[in-house]
Amino acid sequence: MTHAVEIKDLHKSFGSLEVLKGVDFTVDEGQVVCVIGPSGSGKSTLLRCVNLLEQPTKGKVTVGGVELTDPDVDIDAARRRLGMVFQSFNLFPHMTVLQNVMIAQRRVLKRGKQEAERIARENLDKVGVGAKCDAYPPQLSGGQQQRVAIARALAMDPALMLFDEPTSALDPELVGDVLSVMRKLAQDGMTMLVVTHEMSFAREVADRVVFMDGGVIVEEGPPGQVIGDPQHARTRTFLRRVLDPTYSGDDDTSETADADGGRAATPGSAGG
């Protein structure tokens, strides 16, 4: 069986700092996998290694049966199968919403103007901002801009969508609109790899949740298990802090020691 994404023994270092320490996991076609964990755990670096925005130090990344880490791969062709939505919207402020969603279609996929416009309008309608086609990004709310960014990625007909904390830059009241769009994509069968702090989204939408800390996968499984009944002490501590902002963590001493022990064992097993 060919996985939509297959990652084997993935390592990434920035100078002397090892950010990923031997990560192995897969995403199957049509699955939604949410990656959670504290800041600095390697989540975003993992996502950026999937489409080679960061070059892995060691290991193998395969997407749709194509090994992206093969030195001879046509990376531009391979990336066309991937849509990515970042924390920041990265829209061209001097172009209208419609033009923002058309430009990559025209330049990368070489679509004609009429076809690119039709597909752009369809996807802008899909994410609920079809009425904003003639507006410019600075005239939109953050949530609207992020939905335009999603439409832009969808217009390229990706087989896989990557989301890097897509709601982290939004005001709280705007988060729901973006998550609603992502829920609809999941219902439509889009394969998605999502780095997120939105635990309710992960619990409701993900087929699998991956908890990372210290550059390794500490725990993974169905959301009911990882979020609802975590087996690892480090996962429990993290979720307490995320789900209860008033939690001080003063009684974490023994659990943190256990978690550190678990983390120390994990890279060796993954790297072996």
197 lies in a domain? yes
209 lies in a domain? yes
- pLDDT of 250 reads 56
Q: Is the pLDDT of residue 34 over 90?
A: yes
Q: Is the pLDDT of residue 160 over 50?
A: yes
Taking CA atoms, 210 is separated from 5, 33, 146, 171, 266, in Å, by 14, 7, 24, 26, 14
Displacement of CA 120 from its chain's centroid (Å): 22
| 102-133 confidence digits (pLDDT tens) | 999 999 999 999 999 999 999 999 999 999 99
Higher pLDDT pick, 192 / 245 = 192
For 37-55, what is the mean pLDDT? 93
17 lies in a domain? yes
38 lies in a domain? yes
Distance CA 149, CA 134 (A): 15
Boundaries of domain holding 232: 1-74+191-245
**Structural domains in the chain (count):** 1
Query: 234 and 228 in contact (C-beta within 8 Å)?
Result: no
49 lies in a domain? yes
Distance CA 270, CA 266 (A): 6
149 lies in a domain? no
Query: 152 and 100 in contact (C-beta within 8 Å)?
Result: yes
133 lies in a domain? no
| 213-233 confidence digits (pLDDT tens) | 999 999 999 999 999 999 999
Q: How many CB atoms lie within 10 A of CB 18?
A: 16
CATH number at residue 225: 3.40.50.300
Distance CA 12, CA 266 (A): 16
User: What global pTM score does this model have?
Assistant: 0.88
Q: Is the pLDDT of residue 237 over 90?
A: yes
| 194-215 confidence digits (pLDDT tens) | 999 999 999 999 999 999 999 9
Q: Is the pLDDT of residue 236 over 60?
A: yes
198 lies in a domain? yes
Q: Which amino acid is at 84?
A: M
Q: How many CB atoms lie within 10 A of CB 200?
A: 11
